[in-house]
């Protein structure tokens, strides 16, 4: 591409999320590592992605799979240490792929030297401490005494970025400009800069909205991130910050280049993504409990809530004026994959094509390109369980490579999907009808056609079955995730890409689970109709 930095081409990139311990194992110890990821970059290059987001790989006791960091400046030995990251960055650069790391900004492990020092020094305010019991606080395990505030699990003490409001009943609250919060802001910038100096091109920030406490509307948190963004743009222009906020309309004006619609966030607790294909949180041994989603075979959902939230975010991005984009993931390590419960890979094609053709930054979770499924019933591993009905292990199973014959081992971090018919990269790569080749062709189309960029216009025609919209004035996308065939009138044109679909005369026919991209004739480009159109948007 013509642009020289990742930030410059933000509207065109396709992101790939690699969960390192599950992705590929180079040293044969059973745990995926960074050399394994480097050894599989040919797959990412062949697929056509522009950047790879690597979940936390810093030194950690791994009680929360790396989201409990004990040293922000070094890569954990199980992933190959610092040298392995340097090798990954160099190899990715040769392939034209940017490396994005994952930053846990709001807390550390209770084994971090910062916390060990703070619990022995009453004058250290790097964390949130109280001299009395308070709701949600934990007893300090050290001579300091008192209590500390966790940010998620009890072993993840919250870093002190201050409170937005004072409260006489809680005298331990410090303002955002106190010495402790300022020290943490500076440390945050320094950590990012050190990794940028080693060639990393961006960070995805975990729990980005959680830093300043009691911050209604996230006003002070937004000020913090805008300050961080300004300092980083000055020292390392062209790098990008992605957020786990779940509310792009707030996160992007807060300083991020992109924010993902997620299974939580915003005023509706993640409704935009949930209404598409999230299907609740996932289960352990309970019966499948599917919520109403648009990507359902029974056609009981609607994409209208998603479209409305995207429009709100697009308006906020326009007002912000810095060129941010909405992020749209197929899944991630914290919620169920598209192929979950009764939904199989064939049914997921329409949803995958939505992610790759909507005006957003697509993020492909490893394995979704071949239709890996959420595996129910797995035991909790490294903090994966968040309750009896929310088990994340099923979305973190090893990447299913099949026999690639290249000396890179499959991960054994978790049990592999036991289904004997499970999909693999090896089986699908040379199959022109496979999901993998379908996804690759959609990525290529997105890269080649400017009408599919995140900033190109969209005209939404219908939000039900089918979900239809036109990109760039003449590129029709029609998606039918239901088992009932559908038709789209006024669709004369050239069929470009799709599945179980064809154009006949003036009508686009979508079979069960069919989807299509059609180059409209100029006479049909303005027509606004489809069968069973549901809510127009």
Model pLDDT, residue 403? 83
Predicted confidence (pLDDT) at residue 289 exceeds the cutoff of 70: no
Q: Which sign, positive or negative, has the C-alpha torsion 101, 456, 296, 492?
A: negative
Nearest-10 crossing angle of helices 435-448, 345-357: 10
Predicted confidence (pLDDT) at residue 281 exceeds the cutoff of 60: no
* Contact call for residues 455 and 11 (beta carbons, < 8 A): yes
Give 149-187 pLDDT, tens digit per residue.
999 999 999 999 999 999 999 999 999 999 999 999 999
Cβ-based burial of 315 (10 A; exposed 0-12, middle 13-18, buried ≥19): exposed
Q: CA-to-CA distance for 487 and 480, rounded, in angstroms?
A: 9
Report which DSSP code applies to 194. H
Predicted confidence (pLDDT) at residue 406 exceeds the cutoff of 90: no
534 confidence band (pLDDT: 50, 70, 90): very low
Percent of the chain with pLDDT over 70: 94
Q: CA-to-CA distance for 491 and 525, rounded, in angstroms?
A: 8
- Interacting residues of 457 by C-beta distance below 8 A, sequence separation 6+: 359, 471, 472, 473
Cβ–Cβ contacts within 10 Å for residue 386, how many? 15
Q: CA-to-CA distance for 491 and 502, rounded, in angstroms?
A: 10
Q: What is the mean pLDDT of residues 197-222?
A: 98
Q: Which residue has the tokens 């006791």?
A: 61
Cβ–Cβ contacts within 10 Å for residue 387, how many? 8
**Cα–Cα distance list, 214 to 68, 265, 266, 516 (Å):** 23, 16, 16, 47
Model pLDDT, residue 404? 76
Predicted confidence (pLDDT) at residue 2 exceeds the cutoff of 50: no
Give the 3-state secondary structure of 271-300: HHHHHHHHCCCCCCCCCCCCCCCCCCCCCC
Q: C-alpha 322: how far from its chain's center? A: 21
Give 249-272 pLDDT, tens digit per residue.
999 999 999 999 998 888 888 889
- Please report the DSSP string for 509-529 in residue order: EEEEEEEEEEEE-TTTTT---
* Contact call for residues 20 and 55 (beta carbons, < 8 A): yes
Q: Three-state SS for 362? A: strand
Predicted confidence (pLDDT) at residue 286 exceeds the cutoff of 60: no
Q: CA-to-CA distance for 395 and 413, rounded, in angstroms?
A: 12
- Is the bond into 90 cis (omega within 30 degrees of 0)? no
Model pLDDT, residue 278? 73
Full-model pTM? 0.96
- Interacting residues of 153 by C-beta distance below 8 A, sequence separation 6+: 63, 64, 68, 383
- Reading the block at residue 53, the tokens are 């987001």
Helix, strand, coil % in the chain, rounded to nearest 5 = 30, 20, 50
Give the domains, in start order, of the chain with CATH numbers. 15-106+177-451 (3.20.20.80), 107-158 (3.90.400.10), 457-520 (2.60.40.1180)
């Amino acid at each position: 591409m013509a642009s020289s930095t990742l930030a410059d081409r933000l509207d065109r990139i396709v992101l790939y999320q690699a969960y390192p311990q599950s992705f590929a194992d180079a040293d044969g110890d059973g745990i995926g590592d960074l050399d394994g990821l480097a050894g599989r970059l040919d797959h990412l290059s062949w697929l056509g992605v522009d950047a790879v987001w690597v979940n936390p790989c810093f030194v950690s006791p791994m009680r929360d799979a790396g989201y409990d960091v004990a040293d922000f400046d070094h890569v954990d030995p199980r992933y190959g240490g610092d040298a392995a990251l340097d090798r990954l960055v160099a190899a990715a650069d040769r392939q034209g792929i940017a490396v994005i790391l994952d930053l846990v900004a709001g807390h550390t492990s209770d084994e971090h030297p910062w916390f060990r020092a703070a619990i022995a020094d009453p004058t250290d305010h790097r964390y949130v401490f109280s001299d009395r019991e308070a709701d949600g606080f934990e007893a300090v395990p050290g001579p300091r005494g008192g209590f500390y505030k966790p940010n998620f699990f009890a072993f993840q003490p919250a870093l002190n970025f201050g409170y937005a409001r004072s409260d006489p009943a809680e005298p331990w609250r410090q303002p955002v400009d106190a010495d402790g919060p300022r020290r943490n802001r500076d440390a945050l910038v320094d950590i990012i800069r050190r990794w940028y100096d080693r060639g990393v091109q961006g960070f995805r920030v975990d729990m980005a909205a959680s830093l300043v406490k009691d911050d209604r509307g996230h006003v002070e948190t937004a000020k913090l991130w805008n300050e961080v963004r300004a300092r980083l743009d000055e020292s390392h222009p062209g790098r990008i910050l992605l957020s786990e906020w779940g509310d792009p309309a707030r996160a992007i004006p807060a300083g991020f280049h992109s924010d993902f619609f997620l299974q939580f966030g915003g005023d509706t607790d993640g409704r935009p993504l949930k209404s598409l294909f999230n299907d609740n949180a996932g289960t352990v041994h309970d019966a499948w409990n599917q919520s109403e989603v648009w990507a359902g075979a029974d056609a009981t959902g609607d994409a209208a809530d998603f479209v409305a939230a995207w429009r709100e975010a697009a308006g906020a991005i326009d007002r912000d004026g810095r060129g941010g984009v909405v992020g749209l993931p197929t899944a991630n390590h914290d919620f169920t994959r598209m192929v979950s419960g009764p939904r199989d890979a064939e049914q997921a094609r329409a949803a995958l094509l939505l992610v790759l053709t909507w005006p957003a930054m697509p993020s492909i979770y490893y394995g979704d390109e071949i239709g890996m499924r959420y595996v129910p019933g797995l035991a909790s591993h490294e903090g994966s369980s968040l309750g009896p009905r929310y088990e994340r292990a099923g979305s973190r199973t090893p990447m299913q490579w099949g026999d690639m014959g290249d000396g890179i081992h499959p991960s054994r971090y978790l049990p592999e999907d036991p289904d004997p018919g499970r999909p693999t990269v090896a089986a699908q790569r040379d199959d022109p009808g496979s999901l993998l080749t379908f996804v690759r062709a959609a990525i290529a189309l997105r890269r080649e056609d400017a009408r599919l960029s995140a900033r190109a216009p969209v005209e939404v025609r219908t939000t039900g079955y089918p979900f239809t919209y036109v990109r760039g004035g003449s590129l029709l996308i029609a998606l039918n995730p239901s088992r009932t065939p559908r038709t789209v009138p006024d669709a004369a044109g050239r069929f470009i890409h799709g599945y179980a679909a064809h154009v006949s005369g003036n009508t686009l026919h979508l079979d069960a689970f069919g989807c299509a991209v059609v180059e409209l004739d100029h006479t049909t480009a303005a027509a606004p109709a489809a069968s069973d159109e549901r809510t127009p948007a």
